């Protein structure tokens, strides 16, 4: 990656993956009191939103496993799951592969216009690939902070 946006996106993703690598699967499914999601949901949600912004909206092929929308789309939560979620290890592998796809497929297309332009739920308008990836830096960092918070709460239980 040789662009600031893709460098930053890769940095945040690698920080997240390195952080969760030593969490066990059962701990990743704990939902602390007062919260509605767990570490596993946050990771899966990062994957799903990344597929949408980095691939679907840019006209590239997406690689969402079949049940991911039901598990990790905005508004979903683990208490509503009626299908088995992926393991933490599977999520880590998918997240690692995904950032490699961004690098190989999109790093030379950053200034390409997307059609149609995309308007977010908050009214932000995206017109090119670089803008979409720039948003993902924010999204990834926000969920990484949430994961760190959840892990801190879980660690306080023991």
Q: Count how many Cα atoms sit within 13 Å of the Cα of residue 143 in the half-sphere of its side chain.
A: 27
pLDDT in tens, 66-96: 899 999 999 999 999 999 999 999 999 999 9
Q: Cβ contacts of residue 63 below 8 Å, gap of 6+?
A: 51, 55, 98, 101
Q: What are phi and psi of 110, to 5 degrees?
A: -60, -35
pTM: 0.95
Question: So what's the pLDDT on residue 1?
Answer: 40
Return the CATH fold of 4-156.
1.20.120
pLDDT in tens, 36-48: 999 999 999 999 9
Of 21, 29, 25, which is closest to residue 79 (Cα–Cα)? 29
Spacing of C-alpha 151 from chain mean position? 17
Residues of the chain with pLDDT under 50: 1
């Amino acid at each position: 990656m040789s662009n600031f946006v893709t460098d930053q996106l890769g940095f945040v993703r690698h920080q997240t993956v390195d952080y969760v690598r030593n969490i066990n699967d059962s701990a990743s499914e704990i939902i602390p009191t007062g919260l509605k999601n767990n570490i596993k949901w946050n990771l899966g949600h990062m994957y799903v939103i990344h597929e949408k912004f980095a691939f679907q909206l840019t006209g590239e092929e997406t690689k969402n496993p079949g049940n991911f929308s039901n598990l990790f789309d905005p508004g979903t939560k683990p208490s509503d799951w009626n299908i088995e979620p992926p393991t933490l290890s599977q999520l880590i592998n998918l997240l690692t592969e995904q950032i490699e796809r961004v690098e190989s497929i999109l790093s030379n297309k950053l200034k390409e216009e997307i059609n149609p332009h995309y308007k977010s739920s908050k009214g932000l308008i995206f017109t090119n690939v670089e803008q979409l990836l720039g948003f993902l830096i924010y999204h990834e960092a926000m969920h990484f902070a949430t994961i760190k918070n959840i892990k801190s709460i879980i660690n306080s239980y023991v």
